[in-house]
Amino acid sequence: MADVYKRLAKKLDEMPTGFPATKSGVELKILRRIFSPEDAAMALKLKPLPETAEEVAGRLGQPVEEVRATLDGMAEKRQIGSMKMGGRQVYMLAPFVLGIYEFQLERLDKELVDMVEEYMPELAKGIGEKGPSMARVVPVNQPIKAELQVLRYEDMQRMIEESKSFQLMDCICRKSMALLGKPCDHTLETCLVFSKDEGAFDYFSFAGRIISKEEALEVLDATEREGLIHCTYNVQEGQMFVCNCCVCCCGILRSVKEFDAPYALARSNFVAFIDQDSCSACGACANERCQMEAIVEEDGTYMVLGERCIGCGVCILTCPTESISMVRRPEAERDVPPADLIHWSVNRVASRSGPLKRIMLRTWLCPGTTRRPQPRRSGQPIDTRIGTRAKEDHPRAGCTRGR
């Protein structure tokens, strides 16, 4: 089994988010830290699709109870994904992010965090060099202009309202940075996982606590007041989590700002707008709320740099004069995310590996179907030149300001 970790690393790298190899081999050290050789060998036999223990046992020609015990053990060790879907307990090989690493919340220590931090520049390339973007910003739960239609994937409250099971967990990014000696002042327990299945997290709780729908909505409100950014899967249907992120810790936001990985995050299709007639120029939006340095002061007034704004809306909530609103971007600047995780995976693999790989993946994921995934303009990258703008780099056409 000497090469089992190399084979597992290769399999993870073939998944849509990637797991790139490094000269130092730190990615293999990470896998050795998480998997025993036997568990790594079993992980190689799993699909990145939900299967029951009976289905896995049937594929492998092994006794169901033996396979179930192995899968349950790996799930308890946070090596694979497992949850209730369609009334059945299912198991799957998860990507490294968002997946295996996030599962390590209860097993996290400085040794693992140090290895992941060393790996971060290469990992960010795997996450963010090719589209569609992995995650997507969802605006805060504030009224958007009445004449604008708010689509489901733009409404986090609606996603929560449609779900039946909820789990609240600590933010692994903040926990990781604290272990590195860079603690964050933001609330630690902010990450939500949700499902349309009743009792989806009863079998395995995965380092969190089960909460009610009302409590989940309260978490949304509290994180918005705190100025955190809602991020979830970059798909129209099938979201299962919302991370409430800060730029000082979040791996996704750091990938964009520090590691030049534009496809780690897709901005929302909204942009902040400041009404100059009512704005008091107090600067709270720029100095206290905006994490992306998208609001700047010029000649005593504040303006939004549209190319830098990710459309999170956290600037709205503390404006004392209610001068900030969210408006829809011009049509040419909008994007429509893939329909679901299957379409996202197919398009992502095609972007990373070419159309032949897309056809093979589509056939494997959806046997018997001839429908081809429609190309979508998704995951438009945001400007990542944080802190390096020259004055001439402030394009007026990309700004939204009061008339």
Instruction: Report in angstroms the alpha-carbon separations of 271 from 237, 316, 388.
Output: 22, 11, 22
Rounded-to-integer distance, Cα 245 and Cα 115, Å = 22
Rounded-to-integer distance, Cα 181 and Cα 66, Å = 43
* Stated pTM of the model: 0.85
Please write the tens of the pLDDT for every residue from 253-278: 998 888 888 889 999 999 999 999 99
Rounded-to-integer distance, Cα 42 and Cα 274, Å = 55
> Cβ neighbours of residue 368 under 8 Å, at least 6 residues apart?
none
pLDDT of residue 247: 92
Q: Which residue would you say has higher pLDDT here, 127 or 367?
A: 127
* pLDDT at residue 196 is higher than 80: yes
Rounded-to-integer distance, Cα 302 and Cα 46, Å = 53
In this structure, what DSSP letter does residue 295 have? E
Rounded-to-integer distance, Cα 113 and Cα 403, Å = 48
Rounded-to-integer distance, Cα 303 and Cα 402, Å = 8
Please write the tens of the pLDDT for every residue from 151-194: 888 999 999 999 999 999 999 999 999 999 999 999 999 999 99
Q: Which residue would you say has higher pLDDT here, 60 or 400?
A: 60
Long-range contacts of 149-153, Cβ-Cβ distance < 8 Å, separation of 24 or more: 151/236, 152/236, 152/237, 153/235, 153/236, 153/237, 153/239, 153/337
Amino acid at 403: R
3-class SS shares of the chain: helix, strand, coil, % to 5? 40, 15, 45
Instruction: Report in angstroms the alpha-carbon separations of 176 from 80, 123, 171.
Output: 20, 16, 9
Q: Which residue would you say has higher pLDDT here, 306 or 258?
A: 306
Residue 43 Rama label (left phi>0; alpha psi -120 to 50; beta): alpha
Rounded-to-integer distance, Cα 233 and Cα 235, Å = 6
> Cβ neighbours of residue 159 under 8 Å, at least 6 residues apart?
152, 194, 232, 239, 242
Please write the tens of the pLDDT for every residue from 218-229: 999 999 999 999
pLDDT of residue 352: 80
Highest mean pLDDT among 146-150, 272-276, 360-364, 389-393: 272-276
pLDDT band at 143 (very low <50, low <70, confident <90, very high): low
> 17: closest CA among 383, 264, 276, 289?
264
Q: What is the mean pLDDT of the chain?
A: 86
Q: Which domains does the chain have, with CATH numbers?
A: 4-127 (1.10.10.10), 129-333+383-400 (no CATH)
Please write the tens of the pLDDT for every residue from 88-105: 999 999 999 989 999 999
pLDDT of residue 74: 96
> 113: closest CA among 9, 249, 2, 206?
249
Asked if residues 239 and 232 have their Cβ atoms less than 8 Å apart, the reply is yes
pLDDT of residue 142: 65
- Beta 88-92 vs 165-170: how paired, if at all? unpaired
Instruction: Report in angstroms the alpha-carbon separations of 88 from 55, 200, 394.
Output: 11, 9, 53
Rounded-to-integer distance, Cα 315 and Cα 72, Å = 44
Rounded-to-integer distance, Cα 373 and Cα 306, Å = 31
% of the chain at pLDDT higher than 70? 85
Rounded-to-integer distance, Cα 389 and Cα 383, Å = 10
Q: Which residue would you say has higher pLDDT here, 378 or 214?
A: 214
Q: Which residue would you say has higher pLDDT here, 114 or 205?
A: 114
pLDDT of residue 258: 85
Q: Residue 46: phi, psi to the nearest 5?
A: -90, 155
Beta-carbon count within 10 A of 180 CB: 13
Give me the count of residues in the chain.
403
* pLDDT at residue 360 is higher than 90: no
In this structure, what DSSP letter does residue 193 have? E
Please compute, for residue 220, the number of CA atoms within 13 A of its CA located in the half-sphere on the CB side. Answer: 27
| Cis upstream peptide for 60 (omega within 30°) | no
Please write the tens of the pLDDT for every residue from 368-399: 544 444 444 444 444 433 333 333 333 333 34
Please write the tens of the pLDDT for every residue from 1-17: 559 999 999 999 999 99
- Lowest average pLDDT, out of 13-22, 27-36, 134-143, goes to 134-143
Amino acid at 218: E
Asked if residues 340 and 236 have their Cβ atoms less than 8 Å apart, the reply is yes
